[in-house]
Structures are given as C-alpha cells and as structure tokens.
Amino acid sequence: MDVIKSAIVNNEFIPFLQPLIESKSGKLVGCEVLLRWNYKNSVIIHPDEFISFIEINAMIIEITKGIMYQVECAFKDIVYKISESFTIGFNISATHCNDMDIVNDCCFFLSAIDSEYIHLNLEITEREYLQHTTVSQQVFNGLHDLGVTLSIDDFGTGYSNLIYLQDFNFDIIKIDKKFVKYVGINNTSDDIISCVVSLAEHLKLKTVAEGVETNIQADRMRELNVDYLQGYLYGHPLPLNSFIDTWFYN
C-alpha cells in the first residue's frame, strides 16, 4: 500500500493514449487513455500487474483523477488545433460508478478544456461487477446530462454482459480483442461480431472493435458495419506528449 501511496505522491501514474479511428473514413476521431505506472521513473508497468490490487483498495479513484488532470492540462494547450469532434475515453472501475464525484470530475474536465469539439467517454471495465443501484443510476444520468457517453468495455467477457444493457443506458459497445483476433480465421468470431453489431444497431448504440492489428481485420470490421476501430494497426498506446506530437503536430 505504501508503495502505491508514494507512487501517487511522486506522480508515477501516467496516461498513455491510443488512437480511435472512424471505420468508414479512416479518420482520427478520438483516443483511449490507458494507465501506466512509471515505477521510480525507470520502468513502465502495465495495469494488468497492479490494477486489481488498487481497485480492492479503492485507490483507483484517486489515481483516475490524477490521470484525468494530466490529460486535461495537455489538451488545454492544444485545443486551438482541434476543429472537429474528438472523443477522449477514460477507463473507469465499477466502484467509481457508485460515487457521484465522478460526475463533478467530468464537469471540471470539460469546463477546463472548454471546447465544443472535445467529448468525454467513460469505459466501464469488467473486472468488478457494476451493481445497478440508485447511486449508479444517478451517476449515469448525471453523466448523460453533461453529454458524457458511456461504453461497455471488453464486451462479451467477464461481467460485461447483456444484463448491463438491460440495467443501464450505455452508448457504445467495445468488442473485445479476443473476438477481433480470429476474424477471417474462425467463423464463430465473425458470427459473434455480426450479432453484437446487430444488437447494437437495434439498441441504437455505436460499436468499437478493439485490438485491430491487420488490414484484413479492419476490412472485415468495416464489412460487418463496426463504427470505430482501435488497435496496433493505427497506433500503439503512446505517452501523452508523444501522442500529441504524433497526431497533432504532423
């Protein structure tokens, strides 16, 4: 615990950003913010190694606030370069959705950046079960009132399941990379993705395919009418400033 606390104090938790691409046009339309631990400013540690531990200890809320602040500061500086809709997506743990504070955090974030083009999206990850409570419903309503959209992350794995669609008002389904990996190789993946897209269309939700690594996968996602694409084909997650240099100064 102490090591995490000192990492927070030393600003060792940092955001990496990965591009989000509109599938039909191939244009950059946003990014996903991915947490990294820059341990003692010398080794980059992936969240898989520590996230469950900080979620159990509820420190994820403080860490997420810190990440949002770093992204806010960087985008405030380049807001003059953004003249088309750009969505910034943060991953939010289920515990965080039972705390009205997240609505205030989003409100501050949007007011600080103050651009009609910047949209905020929150991805609800599947590791902990998101209970449908009065508070979580108020959080969702409060976020929607601010114009913040909500995605179900890693759809079809873990807790990210149909009951979430029944209980909550989501806007976007993120199709897990485990399904994308086998398109064109295994018909089952094509069938699953096709069914998820059809479900999303019925519910008027958008879809994102994660883990797109090849042009074959991207083409198939377009054929299946997936709205947005994300993956190494378009870009690996990059440190905040490198992402901005790559996508806004070239």
Which of ligand G, Mn ion, none does residue 237 bind to, with CB < 5 to 8 Å depending on kind?
Answer: ligand G
Structure tokens at 7: 């990492």
Query: From CA 209, how far away is CA 224, in angstroms rounded?
Result: 11
Closer CB to ligand G, 84 or 173, in the complex: 173
Which of ligand G, Mn ion, none does residue 154 bind to, with CB < 5 to 8 Å depending on kind?
Answer: ligand G
Helix, strand, coil tally for the chain in percent (to 5): 45, 25, 30
Could you give the string, one character per residue 52-91, with x where binding to Mn ion holds by CB under 5 A and - elsewhere?
A: ---------------------------------------x
**SS3 per-residue string spanning 24-66:** CCCCEEEEEEEEEEEECCCEEECHHHCHHHHHHCCCHHHHHHH
Which of ligand G, Mn ion, none does residue 60 bind to, with CB < 5 to 8 Å depending on kind?
Answer: ligand G
Minimum distance from residue 39 beta carbon to ligand G (Å): 15
Q: What is the DSSP letter of 125?
A: P
Structure tokens at 212: 């797109």
Which of Mn ion, ligand G, none does residue 48 bind to, with CB < 5 to 8 Å depending on kind?
Answer: ligand G
Closer CB to ligand G, 83 or 186, in the complex: 186
Interface with Mn ion (CB under 5 A)? 91, 123, 153
